[in-house]
Amino acid sequence: MLRTGGEVMSKRADRAGSAIARRQLMKAGGALLAGAALNSSGRAANDPLAKLWVRYITGGHPYRPSYPAMFLDPLFVEMEIGPNDLPNNFVAMVTPGAGSAGPAPTAGVTAGPASAGGPAAGAGGNAPPIFAKDNPPDMPWEPSTQIHSGVRSLLPGEAPVFSVFLLNDRTNWPEDVRSTAKKNVEAGKGFVVMHNAIGDNQDWPWWYQQVTGGLLVLDEHDGMKKSTITPSVTMEVRPVGDHPITRGIGTLHLTKEEGYKGMWQSPKITPILEASGGSGTDRVVAWVGPSDQARVVCIAPGYASETHRNPAFRRLVRNAIMWAGGRMI
């Protein structure tokens, strides 16, 4: 057990698969099964001394391993990043207290060894969860960055409250996901929409018009022309305006990027990065979405390993997550 300033810090956790302590998960699972919803604006989410919980979600489109490796950089020390890819747990993790309606059914439900329930899976679904009962009392907490900073992750008995959703999937979400995503927008959660995910939800205007404010148009529809995707683009990217996300970032020289041109962009977005030097990219490559409820940041670059390893790009992504989580003003 670790203590700082007399305060119990997060104890053991399965940082690995679930980023949630098994014991804590069991307690959380018990609460869920009892029908108690997690508090979406729980103390940990608003406590600057607690880590920012970030749900990493990908699916439906390929990306390089250098993208997740980026988040092991100590730069991301103030957050706990927990991957949980599509298809199933998106709903469970986006929805505060998802799975609280009752015990997981035996079919059509996702719930693994480290999950407490969830929505319909593919054919056959997942088995009911099985929980370990033999956690040793001295399991240390390993932060996602593996740096022990003194910042709390969880207090004993707490379940994580994911405040930011870091999207790099490219899919059209099904209706149940849309419904819960909408609730989370309305709840003021943070969304960082990376590269692939700017192509999400082609057929859901509410998402791209009112939330993200931009769309990589994959096929011409609804009066929008198809965007172009150009490989191996070199671009100079500079901050525009004075926004906390880009403060101190400087100019990014990006190579081998996948350039998006002809994205649909809402007049209501707030540009934060502009590109120059290439014909394969739109001018505005990062922006704050128009939602007046959620904090939404979209970042179009993010394809190349060279980009993922660029210190300024990492700083940009870190700032975007922190801002989306309400930790930067």
User: Using CB under 8 A as the criterion, which residues of the chain lie in contact with another protein when the complex forms?
Assistant: 14-19, 22, 56, 58-69, 71-72, 81-89, 106-108, 110, 112-115, 121-128, 130-132, 134-136, 139, 142, 144, 146, 169-174, 199, 202, 218-219, 305
How far is Cα 10 from Cα 141, in angstroms, rounded to an integer? Answer: 7
Residue type, 176: D
Radius of gyration of the chain (CA): 20
User: C-beta of 104: minimal distance to another protein in Å?
Assistant: 12
Q: Residue 55, SS3?
A: strand
Nearer to another protein by Cβ, of 56 and 264: the residue is: 56
User: C-beta of 89: minimal distance to another protein in Å?
Assistant: 6
Upstream peptide bond of 87 is cis (omega within 30 degrees of 0): yes
How far is Cα 97 from Cα 161, in angstroms, rounded to an integer? Answer: 9
User: C-beta of 246: minimal distance to another protein in Å?
Assistant: 25
Nearer to another protein by Cβ, of 288 and 298: the residue is: 298
How far is Cα 278 from Cα 192, in angstroms, rounded to an integer? Answer: 25
Nearer to another protein by Cβ, of 4 and 106: the residue is: 106
Exposed, middle or buried by CB within 10 Å (0-12, 13-18, 19+), for 183? middle
Nearer to another protein by Cβ, of 71 and 323: the residue is: 71
Q: Residue 43, SS3?
A: helix
Q: Are 321 and 254 in contact (CB under 8 A)?
A: no
How far is Cα 71 from Cα 291, in angstroms, rounded to an integer? Answer: 26
Nearer to another protein by Cβ, of 25 and 272: the residue is: 25
Nearer to another protein by Cβ, of 249 and 303: the residue is: 303
Strands ordered across the beta sheet of 252-261: 52-57, 162-167, 190-194, 295-299, 284-288, 270-276, 228-239, 252-261
User: C-beta of 54: minimal distance to another protein in Å?
Assistant: 11
Tokens for 200? 């999400």
CB atoms within 10 A of CB 228: 16
Q: Are 129 and 147 in contact (CB under 8 A)?
A: no
Nearer to another protein by Cβ, of 81 and 273: the residue is: 81
How far is Cα 129 from Cα 109, in angstroms, rounded to an integer? Answer: 10
User: C-beta of 4: minimal distance to another protein in Å?
Assistant: 22
Nearer to another protein by Cβ, of 67 and 191: the residue is: 67
User: C-beta of 43: minimal distance to another protein in Å?
Assistant: 23
User: C-beta of 63: minimal distance to another protein in Å?
Assistant: 6
User: C-beta of 165: minimal distance to another protein in Å?
Assistant: 14
Exposed, middle or buried by CB within 10 Å (0-12, 13-18, 19+), for 150? exposed
